[in-house]
Amino acid sequence: MPAALAAVFLVVPLVALVVDTPWSDLWTLLGTREVRDALRISALTSAATVGICVLVGTPLAWLLARVDFPGRSVLRALVVVPLVLPPVVAGVALASALGRNGLVGGTLRDLTGLTIPFTMTAVVIAHAFVAMPFFVLAVEGAFRSTGAGYDAVAATLGAGRWTTFRRVTLPLALPGLLAGCALAWARSLGEFGATITFAGNFPGTTQTMPSLIYTELQGDVEVARTLSLILLLVSVLVLGAMRERWLRVP
């Protein structure tokens, strides 16, 4: 009974969205420049976010799972903080650090004249900040559950540290790694609060799909609804494809 309640609660809003959306506007909207810009920016930034997570998040997850060093639990706790942080707060924190008068951003501006806010880089930074914890937790879990035993065997067989990581550790953790990618990607695609607070909102540079939906909500609710449906379809399609190929539940 509670299970049914939860299922209904999760499904009804999505059904309402699908039923309530003027489907006929879908193609016209997809043809407009604003929507295509927002889709492109969402696609680019979410892909870049996953890339950054894989490149720097994987080593961090490995460190947390496999290396015993002082302060490990403190580091793990710190890494998880953005997970529970309200996104708007994340945006404010990023602006304090990387805004053009921020702790780091101010120095950067003095040295190079570069500023981060209002650029696509800012969008990716905001997304990576909120998505990274999801990725690191998923991958750390995978590294943990595969165990260090296989690594030790590989090492006794003469494999170096890098070879062991590449040929043994990574393949074993692959399902967890892909799940982490899917989580990070979904989080990035839906990210709104940190983005609009830190990166701003301009079509063609920083306006992602959620920002465009929020903007349209103040103008034309029907358009906002149709755009929401597009985003829903994209998410379901991509997650469906990933599930088919990699995340098959036994």
CB 207 → another protein: shortest distance, Å? 8
Residues in region 74-113 near another protein by CB under 8 A: 95, 99-101
- Note whether 139 and 58 are within 8 A (CB): yes
In this chain, which of 73, 112, 156, 218 binds another protein, going by CB under 8 A? 218
Q: Which is nearer to another protein, 21 or 146 (CB)?
A: 21
- Residue 132 · residue 185 · CB < 8 Å: no
x-marked contacts with another protein along 111-150 as a string, rule CB under 8 A: ----x-xx--------------------------------
**Residue 165 CB coordination number (10 Å):** 18
Q: Least CB distance from residue 219 to another protein, whole Å?
A: 4
From 15-23, 25-33, 178-186, 218-226, give the range in contact with another protein by CB under 8 A. Answer: 218-226
Is 175 near another protein (CB under 8 A)? no
Q: How far is the CB of 16 from another protein (least distance, A)?
A: 15
Tell me the two tokens of residue 135. Answer: 């990725």
Angle between the 33-52 and 221-245 helix axes, to the nearest 10 degrees? Answer: 40
Interface pick for another protein out of 66, 201, 235, 242 (rule CB under 8 A): 201
Could you list the residues that contact another protein (CB under 8 A)? Answer: 1-2, 5, 95, 99-101, 115, 117-118, 196, 200-203, 206-207, 214-219, 221
